[in-house]
Amino acid sequence: MNALLMIAWRSGWNRRATLALVAFSIGLSTFLLLGFERVRADLRESFSQSVSGTDLIVGARTGGVQLMLYSVFHVGGATNNIRMDSVRAIEQNKSVGWVVPLSLGDSHLGFPVLATTPGFFEHFQYGYRQHLALASGRLFDGSLDELYDTVVGAEVADALGYKLGQKITLSHGAGGPGGIEHADKPFTVVGILQRTGTPVDRTVHISLEAMEAIHLDWAGGAPMPGVAIPAAMARKFDLAPKQVTAALVGLKSRAAVFGVQRFVADYPQEALMAVLPGVALDQLWDVVGAGEKALLALSALVAVVSFAGLVAVILAGLNERRRELAVLRAIGAGPRQVLMLLLAEGSLVALLGVGIGAILVAASTVGLGPWIQSQYGIVLSAAPPSDEEWKRVGEIVLAGIVASLIPAWRAYRLSLVDGLSPRV
């Protein structure tokens, strides 16, 4: 058996140029299949990590998935704001333990700004019931003295090199060229949160009152010409928020969740909706699942194409190797050995390809991981292959062995009848 593998290897080495190309194409399709699996698993992981301990998310009526996406993941936009007095009414519901209002819309150098109450840092949880924790500095308490204080996520601090005491200005809306800065009311970074692997890392947190203050001299989404309220003066105005984007709700008893959901949906003064985060996420996966299926099918097709390439190259090689196989037969190799030889060759190339693919995946998660995290907020784990990935590797190798059966069987058939016939 070992001798056979040795012969297969040496013979393959003779044709290394073509076989390496085939191995590389199998490597690329392995990369596609494994990389896709890795991204899929990590995407789900980071989404389901992102919220915990929150029983309901309340917002203006829209789709459940959309409400979840913009309030927790800061993806997409809100259809409408909700009034603060509605939020207070929900807070007064007897089943409700806490409510954290969220106000979104501004940004800082591409990072979303979230205006909220100090209760956010107390109640918001991620992963499995983990609370947010400060890496350095302190939180803001929502008072007027700390009006222009901001607490930034770990990714914001890392990417922009912020230390405590850093002065920053916020941009209206998504920012970018042509955007309007709230330059007259600079903020001070007073706290930096520990890394969580969730969208909190990419968020600049300010108080709801600060959100009101920076928009005091604004009307209809633009600064009012001729009106400028200096930062210190803003404290003299009524800064109580009138409306917010969404609210996180925690209940005293989780069994009350349907009742409160109904209470919110039937709230007579405003059209509201409440979603259970877990249910909304499952809905999201149902939607994404169809796309995942299509991508998987494409990746599988690419793999089939590269194995077709493997079959074609070895088959084409058979013709050149008539003498080689005839010599083997002459020194006593049976047709079965010829079959095993070809099978070994194909399998070796497939294994080599899978190895190349696995290395490519590992290299790109390590190499591109930080960039993907800063661009898209998805944490790619540089962990050893998961069970699902091992399964996929096994499938690819198995497919390689099945594919190399084709030339092997062909050589077996022909070596019986024509291996030693003295024809040239």
Residue ranges in contact with another protein by CB under 8 A: 33, 44-45, 48-49, 52-53, 55, 94-95, 127-129, 252-259, 261-262, 276, 278-279, 281-283, 285, 289-290, 292-293, 296-297, 300-301, 303-304, 307-308, 311, 315, 318-319, 322, 388, 391-392, 395-396, 398-399, 402-403, 405-406, 410-411, 414, 417-418, 421, 423
Contact 343, 404 (CB under 8 A): yes
Tell me the closest approach of the beta carbon of residue 128 to another protein, in angstroms: 5
Nearer of residues 85 and 388 to another protein, judged by Cβ: 388
Nearer of residues 183 and 255 to another protein, judged by Cβ: 255
Tell me the closest approach of the beta carbon of residue 3 to another protein, in angstroms: 24
**Residue 319 backbone dihedrals phi, psi, to 5 degrees:** -65, -45
Element (H, E) at 330: helix 322-330
Nearer of residues 231 and 300 to another protein, judged by Cβ: 300
Residues 6+ apart with CB under 8 A from 330: 420
Nearer of residues 242 and 254 to another protein, judged by Cβ: 254
Contact 85, 260 (CB under 8 A): no
Nearer of residues 97 and 119 to another protein, judged by Cβ: 97
Beta bridge partners of 52: 125
Cα torsion angle, 394, 310, 9, 34, sign: negative
Tell me the closest approach of the beta carbon of residue 403 to another protein, in angstroms: 5
Rounded Cα distance, 244 and 146, in Å: 20
- HSE-CB at 3 with a 13 A cutoff on CA atoms is 4
Rounded Cα distance, 40 and 293, in Å: 11
Nearer of residues 153 and 419 to another protein, judged by Cβ: 419
Amino acid code (one letter) for 351: L
Residue 66: which of 243, 221, 204, 273 has the closest Cα? 273
Tell me the closest approach of the beta carbon of residue 203 to another protein, in angstroms: 20
Rounded Cα distance, 196 and 81, in Å: 28
Tell me the closest approach of the beta carbon of residue 251 to another protein, in angstroms: 9
Nearer of residues 238 and 266 to another protein, judged by Cβ: 266
Beta bridge partners of 137: 191
Tell me the closest approach of the beta carbon of residue 95 to another protein, in angstroms: 5
Tell me the closest approach of the beta carbon of residue 238 to another protein, in angstroms: 32
